[in-house]
Amino acid sequence: MITLLHLSLLLIAPILFLGIINRVKALWAGRRGAPLLQAAFEIGKLLRKGEVISKTTSFVFRLSPSLQIAAVIFAALLMPLPGRPALLYFPGDFVLFAYALGLAKFMLVAAAMDTGSSFEGMGASREMTFSTIVEPAFFLLLGSLALITGQTSFTAIFALLNYSAGYSVLVKALCSISLFIMLLVEGCRVPVDDPNTHLELTMIHEVMILDYSGPDLAFILYASSLKMVLIATLLANVLIPVSAGVAGGLLLFAGMLTLTAIGVGLVESLIARVRMTHVTQFIFLMTALAVTTFSAVIFFLSGGF
Amino acid sequence: MMRFLLFAVPTILSLLVLWRRDRLVSRGALLGVAALYLAAATAWWTGWDVVYLEGRLAGYFTIDSLALWFFTIMTLVFAAAAVYSLFYLREHEVSPQREAGYVATMLLFNMAMTGVLLANHLALLWVFVEATTLTSALLIYFERHKSSLEAAWKYIFICSIGITLAFVGIIILSIGSKSIGSLFFADLYQRAGEINPFWLKMAFAFMLVGFGTKIGVAPLHAWLPDAHSEAPSPVSALLSGALLNSTFLGLLRFQGIMVRAQLHQFANFLFLVVGFLSLLISAAFMLKIKNYKRMLAYSSIENMGILFLGSACGRTGIYAALLHSAAHSLSKCSLFLTSGNILHLYGSKRVEDVRGLLQREPRTGWIWLLSFLAIAGLPPFPIFLSKFLLIMAFFEVGMGWLAAPFLLFVIVLFFGMGGAVFRMTFGIAPPPPPERGEGVHLVIAAYAPQMLLLILLLAIGINLPAKVLALMQSAAGFYSK
Amino acid sequence: MKLLLIGTVLFFSGGILELFIPRKQSGFVSAAAAALAQFFILPPVFQALTDGSTMSVSLDFSLPIGTAFLRLDPLAAFFCLIISIGGLLASIYSLGYMKMYRDRPYSLSSYYFFLGLLFTAMLLVTVVQNLLLFMIVWEIMSLASYFLVIFEHDKEEVRRAGLYYLIAMQIGAAFLLTAFAWAATLTGSLDFTALAGVLSMPGSASTIIFLLFFAGFGFKAGFLPLHTWLPLAHPAAPTSVSAVMSGVMIKTGIYGILRIILLGGIPHASLAYVIFGIALLTGIFGVMNAIVQHDLKKLLAYHSIENIGIIGIGIGLGMLGMVYRQEGVALCGLLGGLLHVFNHFSFKSLLFYGAGVVYAKTHTREIDKLGGLIHSLPITATLFLVGSLAISGMPLFSGFISEFAIYTGLVRSLAPGGAILNIAVGCGLAGLAFIGVMAVLCFTKVFSICFLGLPRVPHQEKLSEGSALLLAPMVALGILIVCIGLVPLLVLPLLKNVVAQFVPGIVATEWEQMMSLFRRLSLAMAVLAGLIIFFLVLRRLLLTGKPVRIFKTWGCGYQVESSRMSYTASSFAAPFVHLVAPFVPREREVMPPQGLFPQEARYKRHYADFIAYYMIDPLSSLLSRFLGLFTWMQTGRTQQYILYGLVFLVMLLVWIMLMPS
Amino acid sequence: MSGILIVLFGTTILYICAASRIEAFVKTLALQGLLLFLLIMIDVHELNWLNIAFLSLETLLMKAIVIPYFLLRVIRRNEIGREVAPDVSQLYPLQIASIIFIAGFLMAYWAAGTGMVVQPLYFGMSISVMMVSLLLIVRRKRIITHILCYMTLENGIFLLSLSVANEMPLLINLGVLLDLFVAIYLLVIFFNMIQEMYDGNNIDVLTELKD
């Protein structure tokens, strides 16, 4: 029962997450904005449609969306909620988490290149370049968490994280900031990318899926927003104390997701998109934070304070 | 008796050959002497109990295990060269008169080398070394080019001066050893303690310079590339495979005196210096080599250097040096003979004129390649073993760091020589030069000797027969005081 | 053990027989011999792997070799397994691949001869336990591979690459020779068992010897900075040979390092860190250079360097575990390293074979001249995709399993205290992630540019798929990769005894824990696979009865679609290369347009190897300049020659005079 | 008495350094032969008459008469007049030679200190004569001169060998004979082959082979 709740929470979240972000942006811009479930309507519509497929493409193009959504949902299975173990956990599962997302990315890029369009190639190469910076930082973050807690699986790490010593406040702060940056990068939001730009030259994620339509597009839309939700969930896991208990935990979790969504929306409304050449610096910010976190942890553990 | 034959038969036969001037006689004599020497070697191998006969040296010529070792090498090389000479003489349409001269000189040269090996009297050894110079000079000049004359002149002039200095060394030694009053190695070894060390050092210095010139180690090597590259290929094989070794034996015997006089530190130091100098020089020239016969000559310098290094590093070193001398002579002989084939096929000694040997004449190509691998010390060829033993010897005498420069030079040489050999062997062959039509074919005499030598090398390299081992060990025994 | 030797001899005799077989039928005999050899080699190998027994036989050589022991312990058996299977696949693939050389002036018989010789030598390398004999077979292995590399010997660059390779091998052998000779003088014995005593000696000698060994074997394996021969030799060799060299042969270097560790343990704790660090750098360096390459085989060669780095990370981690007495960590590290040895063999061979098919069909290795091949070579493309996913460590494929094991080890070794260790492990985590994601970048690039999109060169659309002989080995490898990826427990038990040799203290529980972890993992894999299938079915259901139109790619307003406009490999890699520019020295040749009506203009750019560019080349030119200082000597003037002697003599005399007697 | 002769012998080589005419060189060689003969007569006692006869034959007959005579004839026939090196001044060799001589004397007396069994003068002088003649070979350009220098080198060695002539005459005879043989051999090669193959007999023609 509770497991079902857990799963459904994670699976519904993406819809609302998008909704909230857009709503926040609309409000900030002084419009009323689309209903919260707008994403659901769109996806439903797409699922009912047929497809247009480029003639240069191969089976890779057709396979890719299903693989992406499968991989991301699989990653979701590895994700614990505050006070709730993940549906599937074992030592080192975060490696699998990261690599499952990597698989999704591999298929996304391959499909984009399959169309032979130069714009999609552009987006693909940028996507890959950025993730070369994000990935090590992510592993360093989880490494430092594992180092504090002495645990090696998401569930255990987050279960213990909040019992450990006072410095974990600092660690948590650093972690959550860099996770938020990661959210922006992986979700292709401002300031890295602008999901509703119309100039292909500056697009990253959107340009890669230009040739998709129908169910495939639906899969991709859902997968990408679920990916954001997963990172947001990590954020929540870092911040929310376990002591809240199961029900409280879940409530706090929902609140936390909403807050993150609002944050994203605010960032999109307040900050301008960075120039493509400066994006890497922005992402390096996350790497720097991760390194700081790790070295701080080591410093503390070897009898710092 | 046999020793007597070894000297008498070549002399008589050479006279006969010069008198008759008939192809058949000459070639018969050549092969006959080769057969005789092989017979002698086998007889000694089988009959003799190979022990180091230090005590029993008697008469002016004796065969101890050290001598037997080098004698065997010389015999093999000579036999190979003799067989190859048949091909050489045939292909160069040599007149019967000159052929007779060639054979006669060859026989005398061989006899002289035998004298160097078997002599156990210092002065006698010296006389025979001089004799080898005089006879081999004629052979170097055999082809009657300007260049061969130049090579012969440099060879004979420089080497004669060297030999003369060696004579000074002998005199100084006899000054220092007046109390002994004999130049028999036996006496010198037994009463080495009585020799005045100062004079002994002096004598050694002169000996080193004198014989070193003949052995062709740096910095006394300068004549060697010319002589070895200008001589007819079988002669080059003899010079490089047999002559260098036999002179080296003389120096080795002299070092025996140094060891017994407790002066081996001094001798070893000089040997190391000379050895590394040779490696350095040959490496320097090997990197920009243009002429493949000169390339072989430089590699001889290198290997002589290795012999010196070995004989400077105690028993294991000597052991390595002996093995190396045999391996080097056989492989180098095969290389020089094969270079004769290549010269015949392409009509040029320049490396860049030779291409696609494997394609043009696979047999020659493979022999050339394998002999190179043999000289470069790749397993399973024996030079690999000797190099390993040498490095062990370095470590045994507590100078392991010497392995670093040694291996460095060895690899540089491998690079230089390998580059040349591979570009000659592989690739697509150019059309044969017009003056020699398509009809270039090699008779069996042109590659059978090399093949046999290579098989022999493989046999040694994979599994040294116990007998050979015993001989080497007893030969190395001269070093222990 | 006798069986194994029989199998070894079979490989060789197959090669020998090939020498007497006409050109048209060449190859079948050696393939048959290889197939037959499996029956002799695999049983003892599996026996050794399963019950951890050690078989040995002694051969009596005369001195200086003396008695030589041939031992087949689990470690040797593991590598024998790879070599033997690799041999079979290679000889089958060669059958199909060498067809294209039939009418060219190359000697196929000698090719097969040296192939057989190579495999014989490699098998012997793993079992020989005598210093000198080991060196002999080791050198024979290098030599045989050299002759295979210069198969197309009429090309200048091939010959140069071959010589470079041979020299590199000689330098490596020189290190080993020195180490062996030193050890032999210290112990007076040539048997491997004597090494244990040497390496466990107190004092610096043991450390130096260990480092000598590492350098010697590192040359073969291709660790930084000894790797420079790999990117030269692999493109030069025929693809079937490159596959063998990078899939199988460089692993003998890994074997050597493992053997030394097994024999002598780790003389000094810092060595573990040294190897760990070098391996990390090797991995990052390899993949970083792979990304900038345009030559398909050169790129794969750099990926071999990367994977050697990953293997090295595993081994280094194992060494750390051994040093700090953490059995679990050592277990994970060694397990990951060994498994990655096997995986790299499988997917790298697969990738090279795929590249071989591409080369055989298109006769080019330039990635930017390929494109859209997936339509003409569907099977090859699919298998290449499998290989790419595996080498990028994507879940569901074998590469992930070994990297997962290493990750687990890294995370487990994180422990409070021991700041140095933690820092090292942190670098390891970040570095391994970096390597992994760069590999993804590189292989999305390779696969997409070569096989997807539009053909860049005319008439690449109508190519015929490779022959069955070419595809069979690839299919086999592909199946192997997926099986290991889904059910790692198929192979892991085979590794138990190998690891147990290194960590005798590995208690059953540790191993059981590990296995249960992998059981969970394969369960997860099953879930993932299930999800994928579910969504594929879902998609099909959704699309049934719906219109699916085939139309041209959305050109963002441009109506002409041409391959000239689509992204190239260079442009795909450009943003990343911009990030790492200082580490990839680039060499340009520019020919700007000239005159009022420029006839032609050219711009060519290629990336040099950092190490070769800044380290190897300067050193070698320095050496040759030093040696050049002596080449004035041979002037041809007799007098000068005599002067040398005179000076030498005078110096000697003066020295003797001044020497205190 | 013998000391004077030895010094005289030394001065001859100094003269050779200075002389530039081949004929003068040859005549000096003859003089050296004579001096060596006298030295034997004076110094060598405890030899049987056979050895004495043999040694004197070599020195007096060969070194002092036959070879010089033969040489002079050939030289006159082929008009080999001067040493061809007008650019090379004869000063330096002379100075260097004298320095070598001083070194030789010093060596002799220093060695005398080490209680050795040979007359020091023999040793020092012969060593210096050897060095000087090697030096001359390096300096001079004509092949014929090289051969002549080689013969002076032999004379120097002969001088040294006289110091042990009493102990091992056989060795001495052997050495001298062989050296003479080599000298003649060289001369033959020179006059028969080099002369006819190369027009000039300057050593510089023999520098084709090089790297």
Q: What tens digit of pLDDT does each residue of B174-184 get?
A: 888 888 888 88
- Write the DSSP string, C332-388: HHHHHHHHHHHHHHHHHHHHHHHHHHHHHHH---BGGG---HHHH-HHHHHHHHHHH
Q: Looking at residues D32-38, what average pLDDT do you find? A: 90
Q: Indicate yes or no: CB of B412 within 8 angstroms of CB of C640.
A: no
| Residues of chain C contacting A220 with CB distance shorter than 8 Å | none
Predicted local distance difference test score (pLDDT) of residue C441: 94
Tell me if B158 and C62 make a contact (CB, 8 A cut-off): no
Cα–Cα distance for residue pair C386/C358, rounded to 1 Å: 16
Q: What is the pLDDT of residue B51?
A: 41
B279 close to C (CB below 8 A): no
Q: Which of B3-12, C151-160, D198-207 has the lowest mean pLDDT?
A: D198-207
Contacts 24+ apart (CB under 8 A), A14-19: A14/A39, A14/A222, A14/A225, A14/A226, A14/A228, A14/A229, A15/A39, A15/A40, A15/A43, A15/A225, A16/A257, A16/A261, A17/A225, A17/A228, A17/A229, A17/A232, A17/A257, A17/A260, A17/A261, A18/A225
Spans of all domains in chain C: 1-267, 269-540, 577-588+604-630
**Contact: C652, B208; criterion CB under 8 Å:** yes
Are B268 and B337 spatial neighbours (Cβ–Cβ below 8 Å)? no
Structure tokens given for C188: 């007076």
Instruction: Say what the pLDDT of residue C24 is.
Output: 82
**D145 touches B at CB < 8 Å:** no
Q: Is B398 left (phi over 0), alpha (psi -120 to 50) or beta?
A: left
Residue range(s) defining the domain that contains residue B178? 2-479
For the cut 70, the answer to whether the pLDDT of residue D115 exceeds it is: no
So what's the pLDDT on residue B392?
93
Minimum CA–CA partner of D111 in chain C: C657
- Tokens at B248, concatenated: 């080296």
Burial of C532 (0-12, 13-18, 19+ CB in 10 A): buried
Chain B residues with CB under 8 Å of C644 CB are 219-220, 222
Q: C566 and A140: CB-CB below 8 Å?
A: no
The residues, ordered by sequence, that sit 6+ positions from A229 with a Cβ below 8 Å of its Cβ are A10, A13, A14, A17, A76, A257
Q: What local confidence, expressed as pLDDT, does residue B440 receive?
A: 59
Distance from CA of B408 to the nearest CA of C (A): 8
Nearest 5°: CA angle at A212, between A207 and A214?
140
Confidence of residue D81 (pLDDT cuts 50, 70, 90): low
Is-contact B166 B129, C-beta < 8 A?
yes
Is the predicted pLDDT of residue A143 greater than 70, yes or no?
yes
- Report whether pLDDT(A304) > 70: no
> Is the model's pLDDT at B55 over the cut of 50?
no
CB neighbour class for D105 (10 Å; exposed up to 12, middle 13-18, buried from 19): middle
pLDDT digits 0-9 by tens, A76-114: 999 998 878 889 999 989 999 999 999 999 999 999 999
Tell me: the pLDDT tens digits for B239-251?
Answer: 999 999 999 999 9
Q: Chains touching chain D at 3 or more Cβ pairs under 8 angstroms? A: B, C
What pLDDT does A217 receive? 94
Cα separation, B232 vs B141, in Å, equals 9
Q: What pLDDT shows up at residue B433? A: 67
Residue B405 has pLDDT above 50, yes or no: yes
Q: How would you class D31 by CB atoms within 10 Å of its CB: exposed for 0-12, middle for 13-18, buried for 19 or more?
A: middle
Instruction: Please write the tens of the pLDDT for every residue from C209-230.
Output: 999 999 999 999 999 889 999 9
State residue B438's pLDDT score.
52
Element (H, E) at D97: helix D91-113
Under an 8 A CB cutoff, do B358 and C107 touch? yes
State in Å, rounded, how far the first CA of chain A is from the last one.
Answer: 45
Q: Residues 45..104 of C with a Cβ closer than 8 Å to B: which? A: 61-65
The answer to whether B168 contacts D157, with C-beta atoms less than 8 Å apart, is yes
Q: For residue range B162-173, list pLDDT tens digits in order.
A: 999 999 999 989
Look at C643 and D207 and tell me if their CB atoms are within 8 Å: no
Strands C602-607 and C586-591, bridge-based pairing: antiparallel
pLDDT at B56: 43
Residues 506-535 of C with CB under 8 A from A: 517, 520-521, 523-524, 527-528, 531-532, 534-535
Mean of pLDDT values over D33-49: 82
Is the CB of residue A271 less than 8 Å from the CB of residue A190?
yes
Nearest CB partner across the interface for D154, out of B134, B164, B290: B164
Rg of the Cα trace of chain C?
A: 27
Determine contact, residues D131/D100, Cβ cutoff 8 Å: yes
Q: What percent of chain B has pLDDT over 70?
A: 95
Q: Is D210 on the interface with C (CB under 8 A)?
A: yes
Looking at the predicted structure, is the pLDDT value of residue C620 above 70?
yes
Residues C393 and C403: beta-carbon distance below 8 Å: yes
* Chain D residues lying within 8 Å of B165, measured CB to CB: 130
Please answer yes or no on whether C547 and A50 come within 8 Å at the CB atom: yes
User: Each residue of B73-109: b (16+ CB within 10 Å) or e?
Assistant: bbbbbbbbbbbbbbbbbebeebeeeebbbbbbbbbbb
Contact C572, A124 (CB under 8 A): yes
Which chain C residue shows the shortest CA-CA distance from A131? C437
Closest by CA to C253, choosing from C125, C137, C432, is C125
Average pLDDT over residues C571-599: 87
* Interchain pair C181, B388: CB under 8 A: yes
Using a CB-CB distance cutoff of 8 angstroms, which residues of chain D are in contact with residue C638?
146, 203, 206-207
Q: Which residue has the higher pLDDT, B19 or C605?
A: B19
The reported pLDDT for the residue numbered A244 is 67
DSSP letter at C581 equals G
Name chain C contacts of B219, Cβ cutoff 8 Å.
633, 644-645, 647-648
Q: Which residues pair with C551 in a beta bridge?
A: A54
Nearest chain C residue to B165 by CA distance is: C649
**D78 in B contact zone (CB under 8 Å):** no
**Span D100-109, pLDDT tens digits:** 888 887 777 7
Average pLDDT over residues C72-81: 94
Find chain D residues with C-beta within 8 A of B172's C-beta: 160
Whether B312 and B258 have beta carbons less than 8 Å apart is answered as no
- CA-based nearest distance A262→chain C, Å: 31
Q: Which residues of B42-51 are buried (b: 16+ CB within 10 A; e: fewer)?
A: eebeeeeebe
Report which of C349, C306, C301, C311 is spatially closest to residue C86, judged by C-alpha positions.
C349
pLDDT of residue B54: 41
Tokens (6 digits) for A61: 């193009």
Interface contact B384-C624, CB threshold 8 A: no
Question: Where would I find the H helices in C19-107?
Answer: 28-51, 74-97
Average pLDDT for A241-252: 78
pLDDT of residue A165: 59
On chain D, the residues whose CB falls within 8 A of the CB of B127 are 174, 178
For the cut 50, the answer to whether the pLDDT of residue B235 exceeds it is yes
Task: Answer whether C637 sits within 8 Å of D203, measured CB to CB.
Answer: yes
Residue ranges of D 99-118 with Cβ closer than 8 A to chain C: 107, 110, 114
Residues 106-135 of A with CB under 8 A from C: 106, 109-110, 113-119, 121-122, 124-126, 128-129, 131-133, 135
Q: Look at residue C558 and tell me whether its pLDDT is greater than 90.
A: no
Residue D10 Cα distances to D14, D32, D129, angstroms: 7, 9, 7
CA distance C508 to chain A (A): 19
Would the pLDDT of B109 be above 60?
Answer: yes
Are the Cβ atoms of B380 and C627 closer than 8 angstroms? no
| Percent of residues, chain C, with pLDDT higher than 70 | 99
Q: Would you say D157 and D37 are in contact if contact means Cβ atoms under 8 Å apart?
A: no
pLDDT digits 0-9 by tens, B309-363: 999 998 889 999 999 999 999 999 999 999 999 998 888 899 999 988 888 888 8
Q: Which of A61, A87, A88, A113 to mutate to test the interface with C (most CBs of C within 10 A)?
A: A113
Average pLDDT of the residues of chain A? 89
Judge: D138–C643 Cβ closer than 8 Å, yes or no.
Answer: yes
Other residues' Cβ atoms within 10 Å of the Cβ of residue D178: 21
- Least CA distance to C397: which residue of chain A? A103
Range of lowest pLDDT (A3-12, B416-425, C382-391, C549-558) = C549-558
Contact of D117 with chain B, judged by CB distance below 8 Å, is answered with: yes
Amino acid identity of C436?
G
Are the Cβ atoms of B174 and D164 closer than 8 angstroms? yes
Backbone angles phi, psi at B361, to 5 degrees: -150, 80
Smallest CA–CA distance from D130 into chain B, residue: B165
Contact A132 C524 (CB under 8 A): no
Average the pLDDT over C632-653 and give the result: 90
Prior bond to B432 cis, omega within 30?
no
- Any chains having at least 3 CB pairs less than 8 A from chain C are A, B, D
Q: Is B174 within 8 Å of D163 when comparing Cβ atoms?
A: no
Tell me the residue length of chain B. Answer: 481
Q: Measure CA A278 to chain center.
A: 21
Q: How far is CA B311 from CA A92, B251, B252, in A?
A: 62, 10, 8
pLDDT digits (tens, 9 = 90+) for C284-333: 999 999 999 889 999 999 999 999 999 999 999 999 998 888 888 999 99
Partner-chain contact A54 C433, CB within 8 Å? no
C542, A47 Cβ separation under 8 angstroms: yes
**Type of residue numbered D108:** A
Whether residue C358 is predicted with pLDDT greater than 90 in this model: the reply is: yes
Residue A305 banded pLDDT, cuts 50, 70, 90 = very low
The answer, yes or no, to whether residue A200 has pLDDT greater than 50, is yes
The answer to whether the CB atoms of C414 and A146 lie below 8 A apart is: yes
- Predicted pLDDT of residue B136: 94
Distance of CA A54 to the CA centre of its chain: 29
Tokens 């493989």, residue?
Answer: B458
* Chain C partners within 8 Å of B223 (Cβ): 641
Q: Which H/E stretch holds residue B295?
A: helix B292-311
Distance from chain centroid for Cα C25: 31
Determine, for residues C166 and B387 on separate chains, whether the beta-carbon distance falls below 8 Å.
no
For chain B, how many helices (H) and strands (E)?
A: 20, 0
pLDDT digits (tens, 9 = 90+) for C217-274: 999 999 988 999 999 999 999 999 999 999 999 999 999 999 999 988 887 888 999 9
Where is C603: in which H helix or E strand?
strand C602-607
Average pLDDT, chain C: 90
Q: Which residue of chain D has the CA closest to C632?
A: D211
What is the rounded CA–CA span in Å between residue C154 and residue C176?
A: 32
**C643 contacts D131? CB cut-off 8 A:** no
Distance CA A125, CA A119 (A): 10
Q: What is the pLDDT of residue B57?
A: 45
C485-505 confidence digits (pLDDT tens): 999 998 898 999 999 888 887
Q: CA dist C107 to B429, C11, C31, C624, C634, Å?
A: 14, 19, 17, 35, 41
| Rounded distance between C-alpha atoms, residue B130 and residue B116, angstroms | 9
